[in-house]
Amino acid sequence: MTLDSALLSPGQRYVPGIMGGLGPLSHVEFERIVLGRNAGRRGAHADQDHPLWLLVSASPAPDRTAALLHGGESPLAHLTAYARLLERAGADALFVLCNTAHAWHAEVQRAIGIPWVHLMELVGEALRERFPAGTRVGLLGTDGTMAAGLYHRALEARGLVPVAPPADSPAQARVREAISDPDFGIKGTGSAVSARAREALLEAVGWCVRQQGVQVLVPACTEVSVGLPASPSVPVCDPLELAADALLDLAYGRREPAAFLLDRPAR
């Protein structure tokens, strides 16, 4: 389906599709970033200065880490169905706001005719432009994302050094708690981020910086992007911010949809 151009914002060429809900707060934060960057960097001042985008909140999709590590139900059928829904509704490219879901990128990409914008590739390209080879990059994300090597491959292919807390380490336990603890974790507290979750993430940042000497930090989970306190001790390369810029570039034709297709499988 192609949306009538009369329904788009002035100057808009393509329609981004956002798969949010993974977790639910991440797409709210992402849309806030898109609006802020469009206003602050690109001069938007009115409703009509912002592009039309399509959103599906994919919260019913099964847990991605449980599927990868513990034999849980695969989210592939859900991810594919939601991606096709956005495509049928008129989306020209897909933004999936879950890092761990990218473990199924290749399978979903084969099932749809629009590109799924790959967060790890966005991060890898941005870091390669900003930092020299050998830079130590700290990764804070789910056990599933780390075990799948999603960021490791993207960084190593560009001469960068990924550094992540081992799965059985206290630092990774704190990341898990910040993301998923049922009482204070970011997935469990609705639209708020608890002080305990922020403290847990700061402890993990401390492990990266003080014990491992990382020079730049990647919040490799959208909950970490949402909950990471401002002004950490090293620069942050946030996938949500890079995706927001990519969404705006796509919407206004500064980058064509085909530019986001990968030349190689994601897995």
**Tens-digit pLDDT profile for the chain (267 aa)?**
789 999 999 999 999 999 999 999 999 999 999 999 999 878 899 999 999 999 999 999 999 999 999 999 999 999 999 999 999 999 999 999 999 999 999 999 999 999 999 999 999 999 999 999 999 999 999 999 999 999 999 999 999 999 999 999 999 999 999 999 999 999 999 999 999 999 999 999 999 999 999 999 999 999 999 999 876 789 999 999 999 999 999 999 999 999 999 864 433
237-254: burial string, b at 16+ Cβ within 10 Å, e else? bbbbbbbbbbbbbbbbee
Residues 80 and 211 in one domain: no
Query: Looking at the domain assignment, is residue 173 inside a domain?
Result: yes
Residues 41 and 148 in one domain: no
- Residues 195 and 191: their CA atoms lie apart, in Å, by 13
CATH code: domain of residue 179: 3.40.50.1860
Radius of gyration of the chain (CA): 18
Task: Tell me how many domains the chain contains.
Answer: 2
Query: Looking at the domain assignment, is residue 73 inside a domain?
Result: yes
Q: Name the residue among 142, 113, 130 with its Cα closest to residue 261.
A: 113
Query: Looking at the domain assignment, is residue 181 inside a domain?
Result: yes
Residues 223 and 253 in one domain: no
Walk across the sheet containing 16-20 and list its strands.
54-57, 16-20, 93-96, 116-117
Q: What is the pTM assigned to this prediction?
A: 0.95
Query: Looking at the domain assignment, is residue 25 inside a domain?
Result: yes
């020299």: which residue's tokens? 132
């490799």: which residue's tokens? 220
Domain containing residue 231: 120-238
